[in-house]
Chains A and B, each alone.
Chain A
Amino acid sequence: MRSLDPTEKAIINGLQGGFPLTQRPYRDAGAKLGLSEGEMIEEIGNLVAGGQLSRFGPLWNAEALGGAVCLAAIAVPRERFDEVAERVNAHPEIAHNYERDHELNMWFVVSTDAPERVDQVIAQIEHETGLRVRAMPKTREFFVGFRVEV
């Protein structure tokens, strides 16, 4: 991991939201950080190219877009882990899949355009793997004010 310079840190810490909806937003956001419009565009471009930022722009909320997102977990026998991961990941609706240190050791997110697809994908995975999938849809979301500090 390359270390960040003060300008890059200022952009990451200071701009995780609130990017202006003005004609010259890079200029206006840069003014608060003491950077010119050209510097802002160049620095942000470098942070995206370097992978420190996934991207720069709107963070869309999948559910508000009419889709559905559901966390699900499987207790996968150790000797079948790679095979089951391959079957689960083969579904394009699986957005993320993580191995975690628990008896429920495979945790994935089903993300679909149509809410009814979530149950279908889960049923298919149960059929293909012969393993029980525990669906854990969120029943309530609590506001978080998280920002990464670098």
Chain B
Amino acid sequence: MLDAIDRKLIAATQGGLPLVAEPYRALADELGLDEAEIVRRLARLLEDGAIRRIGAIPNHYALGYTANGMSVWDIADEAVADIGARVGALDFVTHCYERPRHPPLWPYNLFAMVHGRTRDEVRAKVAEIAVLVGPAARAHEVLFSTRILKKTGLRIAA
């Protein structure tokens, strides 16, 4: 569980780390803690999964990855854990989740997000997933985003 200091650390770093030679010391000064405490907390939060990773967080669009395809798959419930693990392991899949179906409009229970420079590149990658999944997929589609209507980052108050 997170305590009040963890939440302050989130608020202080959700826009990024200080770009100075000793960024953890700078954070420590800002929060009135010592540097070792900051490092210890960040290490724990990484280990617990509250921080997924620390480093460069790319802006897909600005890097030319403008095609964004949400591939969705109708996989037998008993097979989805195994198939999902294999699809998620592909190096071009950015998110991979099991979600509830909403039949008949929405029969799909496995979502795998694929980014690429062009729609054709995304379609080729989705075809690779189809080969990997094989007959376990009863149906699939890829939904391209045609417009970003809103995009804001995660914002946690201290």
Complexed CA–CA distance, A35 and B78 (Å): 50
Q: Count A interface residues, CB 8 Å.
A: 76
The answer to whether A137 and B58 have CB atoms under 8 Å apart is: no
Chain B residues with CB under 8 Å of A1's CB are 62-64
Asked if A62 is at the interface of the complex by the 8 Å CB criterion, the answer is: yes
Asked if B48 is at the interface of the complex by the 8 Å CB criterion, the answer is: yes
Complexed CA–CA distance, A136 and B48 (Å): 25
Q: A25-B23, A100-B143 are in contact. Are A142 and B97 (CB under 8 A)?
A: yes
Q: Count B interface residues, CB 8 Å.
A: 76
Chain A residues with CB under 8 Å of B24's CB are 21, 23, 25
Interface centre among A12, A54, A138, A144 (most CB of B within 10 A): A144
Asked if A104 is at the interface of the complex by the 8 Å CB criterion, the answer is: yes
Chain A residues with CB under 8 Å of B106's CB are 73, 104, 134
Asked if B15 is at the interface of the complex by the 8 Å CB criterion, the answer is: yes
Asked if B49 is at the interface of the complex by the 8 Å CB criterion, the answer is: yes
The residue on A at minimum CB distance from B20 is: A41
The answer to whether A146 and B93 have CB atoms under 8 Å apart is: yes
Interface centre among A24, A64, A97, A136 (most CB of B within 10 A): A136
The secondary-structure label for the interface of chain A is mixed
The residue on A at minimum CB distance from B59 is: A54
B-facing residues in A1-43 (Cβ within 8 Å): 1, 4, 11-12, 15-19, 21, 23-27, 37, 41
A-facing residues in B89-141 (Cβ within 8 Å): 89, 91-100, 102, 105-106, 111, 115, 141
Chain B residues with CB under 8 Å of A111's CB are 154
Asked if A44 is at the interface of the complex by the 8 Å CB criterion, the answer is: yes
Complexed CA–CA distance, A15 and B2 (Å): 27
17 CB < 8 A contacts A-B: A4-B63, A17-B55, A18-B53, A24-B22, A27-B21, A52-B59, A57-B13, A58-B14, A59-B51, A60-B10, A62-B154, A65-B10, A89-B150, A140-B81, A141-B97, A143-B85, A150-B63
Taking Cβ atoms with an 8 Å cutoff, the residues of B that contact A are: 1-2, 10, 13-17, 19-25, 35, 39, 42-43, 45, 48-60, 62-65, 68, 70, 80-81, 84-85, 87-89, 91-100, 102, 105-106, 111, 115, 141, 143-154, 156-157
Given A21-B54, A144-B89: 10 more A-B contacts, CB < 8 Å: A23-B24, A23-B25, A53-B56, A54-B59, A57-B54, A64-B48, A99-B147, A100-B70, A139-B100, A144-B95
